[in-house]
Amino acid sequence: MEELKALESMGLVLPSALYIVGAILFGIAGYVIYRRGRSSRQLGLLWIGVALMLYPYAVSETWLLWVIGCGLSGWASTKWNDH
């Protein structure tokens, strides 16, 4: 517990369980979308998939993680069947 308190005093805080679940969920969705974009040669889907896999590393707020993830996932669903 001393190590955890020392880290917290330096400003480092462990993410919440909801954040971890969101990061894993959107990472898996991003991988699936990336694979679909790559196999169907849809560059839009490919880059949305890359964004979904990488953006959790840049976002620290849980609410923002979910808003961006839902937005990118919604955008991908509109492009899913485009040819």
Domain assignment of residue 60, yes or no: yes
Domain assignment of residue 40, yes or no: yes
- pLDDT tens, 47-68? 999 999 999 999 988 999 999 9
Residue 75 sits in which domain range? 13-79
pTM: 0.81
Which band of pLDDT confidence, cut at 50, 70 and 90, is reported for residue 31? very high
Question: Residue 1 pLDDT more than 80?
Answer: no
pLDDT value at residue 19: 93
Domain assignment of residue 1, yes or no: no
Domain assignment of residue 3, yes or no: no
Domain assignment of residue 25, yes or no: yes
pLDDT value at residue 73: 94
Domain assignment of residue 37, yes or no: yes
Q: Which residues of 52-62 are buried (b: 16+ CB within 10 A; e: fewer)?
A: bbebbeebeeb
Per the CB < 8 A criterion, the answer to whether 46 and 38 are in contact is yes
Please tell me the total count of domains within the chain: 1
Higher pLDDT, 21 or 6: 21
pLDDT value at residue 83: 62
